Amino acid sequence: MRCLNDEELQLASRFLFLSMAITVIQQDIQHIETGTFKIKEPYLELLESMNAEAASERKELRKKMRDKKMQVVTLQKNDSFSSYLFLCNGREEKRNYFNPAIRKKVKTIMQELMDKAQPPHQHYSSAHT
């Protein structure tokens, strides 16, 4: 049974999946820093910019959630599903997510962050030589 309205559910879901995206970005930063990349800086700059954008958005989401007395609690995870409890003003709603669906949502958020983090491209054209 749905206990949260669409706005509350959207807010809590965005917070949850954005938090997961931040974790992935931070892990990727660690892998690049410790990896055998020849030129690390462009990747690190992109990921750091994505991380800053995500942290800023999550801060705003956290404030909105605090104002609405909302929380997201991890209940359990297994190979196929992850369960979360969304709390809002004394109401609670348990949500089960298929792990590949979570991955798809996190990937979409990461693409959004990448689009925001990249400056507009200025293509070099041979016509300008």
Is the distance from CB of 52 to CB of 46 less than 8 angstroms? no
Name the average pLDDT for the chain.
91
Q: Which tens digit of pLDDT belongs to each residue from 32-64? A: 999 998 999 999 999 999 999 999 999 999 999
CA pair distance 56, 60, nearest whole angstrom: 7
pLDDT of residue 15: 98
In 2-35, which positions are buried (b, 16+ CB within 10 angstroms) versus exposed (e)? eebeeebbebbbbbbbbbbbbebbeebbeebeee
User: What confidence tens digit (pLDDT) does each residue in 80-124 have?
Assistant: 999 999 999 889 999 999 999 999 999 999 999 999 988 666 555
pTM here is: 0.88
Residue spans of the domains in the chain: they are 6-115
CA 72 to chain centroid, in Å, comes to 14
126 pLDDT exceeds 60?
A: no
Contact predicate 56/40, CB 8 Å = no
Q: Which amino acid is at 68?
A: K
Of residues 120 and 69, more confidence is placed in: 69
- pLDDT at 129 exceeding the cut of 50: no
